[in-house]
Amino acid sequence: MSNETFSLIGIYGGTFDPVHFGHLRVAEELIEILQLDEIRFVPAGHPRLRNEPIASQHHRKIMLYEAIRDNKKFFLDDRELRRSGESYSVASLRELKEEFKGKKVAFCFIIGVDAFLKLPNWHLWRELFELSHLVIVNRPGHISFQHQACLPPKLQEACSDRWTDDVNALKHVSSGFVFTAETTLLDISSTTIRAYIAAEKSARYLLPDNVLNYIGTHHVYTRENENR
Ligand code: ATP
Ligand code: MG
């Protein structure tokens, strides 16, 4: 391991349809746990492995912006919305790497355990380890794991010599470690929030008030075709 140290930048990809306190609390805690300089939230344009989001790109971007605008360490990175075609995290990380060329920066790609378990389906997924560290957060309702237990074989093999419990290790190489962070478990999902709103049930306290107000004003999840 070299003596040079890297500043750490969190990259938090997702559909954010809508963003909620599960995302935001994890991000806040990871800033402290990993001593991140910042976190970039990267909303997916057209996710390859799931249905098209319900809210338009425009609404998802504004909701995310509203949710993070007061946090000096949170930034919206809309590169995947600006790019046409399907969204690939690898493509975004490649671009970021190029933009930060010459700077002592290491990226920490933040991923919930539900998404991590599906990683082998992602486009060029093995390259993620060349471009960033992976930071896995647990989610209620999904298996929680410590290191290699319960992983699909492909993932187990790809991660086998990458695990670390040492936060400082992430600062000494620019990519390649896999770290499991102990963040507060919040059983909140965008799917549940969308269902509550569509059923005219309260979604208060699951996401920021300004986001909920935006959803109400623009009928984001209630009226068909009004969110385009
Ligand atoms: P949906 O129900 O539409 O899939 P979601 O709540 O899972 O939405 P996503 O935008 O799909 O939110 O998630 C983006 C990333 O955030 C994923 O890596 C996911 O695992 C993680 N994540 C989402 N909600 C939580 C949560 N409550 N706790 C920890 N991680 C979360
Ligand atoms: Mg999800």
112 falls within a domain: yes
Q: Say how far residue 152 (Cα) sits from the centre of its chain.
A: 21
What is the domain extent for residue 118?
7-187
Ranking 16-25, 143-152, 214-223 by mean pLDDT, the lowest is 143-152
Is residue 14 lining ligand 1, measured as CB closer than 6 Å?
Answer: yes
The enclosing domain of 153 has a CATH number of 3.40.50.620
- C-alpha distances (whole Å) from 67 to each of 21, 24, 89, 151 are 9, 8, 22, 33
b/e per residue 13-35 (b: at least 16 CB within 10 A): bbbbbbbbbbbbbbbbebbebbe
27: pLDDT strictly greater than 90: yes
> What pLDDT does 86 receive?
74
Q: What is the bridge-based pairing of β-strands 7-14 and 105-112?
A: parallel
Is residue 60 lining ligand 1, measured as CB closer than 6 Å?
Answer: no
- Average pLDDT over every residue of 134-156: 82
Question: Do 30 and 227 contact (CB within 8 A), yes or no?
Answer: no
204 falls within a domain: no
Residue of minimum CA distance from atom 17 in ligand 1: 112
The C-alpha atoms of residue 110 and residue 84 are separated, in whole angstroms, by 23
150 falls within a domain: yes
Residue of minimum CA distance from atom 6 in ligand 1: 189
216: pLDDT strictly greater than 90: yes
Is residue 190 lining ligand 1, measured as CB closer than 6 Å?
Answer: yes
Confidence of residue 87 (pLDDT cuts 50, 70, 90): confident
Task: Report the 10 Å Cβ neighbour count for 95.
Answer: 14
> What pLDDT does 115 receive?
94
> What pLDDT does 225 receive?
46
Confidence of residue 71 (pLDDT cuts 50, 70, 90): very high
The C-alpha atoms of residue 176 and residue 197 are separated, in whole angstroms, by 40
198 falls within a domain: no
27 falls within a domain: yes
Q: Kindly give the distance from the C-alpha atom of residue 179 to the centroid of ligand 2, in angstroms, as a whole number.
A: 20
More confident residue, 93 or 1: 93
- Average pLDDT over every residue of 90-113: 96
The C-alpha atoms of residue 187 and residue 193 are separated, in whole angstroms, by 11
213 falls within a domain: no
210 falls within a domain: no
Is residue 43 lining ligand 1, measured as CB closer than 6 Å?
Answer: no
- Average pLDDT over every residue of 37-45: 96
Is residue 64 lining ligand 1, measured as CB closer than 6 Å?
Answer: no
Q: Which ligand is nearest to the CA of 189?
A: 1
> What pLDDT does 149 receive?
66
Mean pLDDT score across all residues of the chain: 92
pTM beyond 0.85, yes or no = yes
224 falls within a domain: no
Residue of minimum CA distance from atom 27 in ligand 1: 22
Is residue 55 lining ligand 1, measured as CB closer than 6 Å?
Answer: no
**Domain total of the chain:** 1
The C-alpha atoms of residue 9 and residue 39 are separated, in whole angstroms, by 6
H helices of the chain, in order, are 21-34, 57-68, 79-82, 89-99, 113-117, 128-131, 153-159, 190-198, 209-217
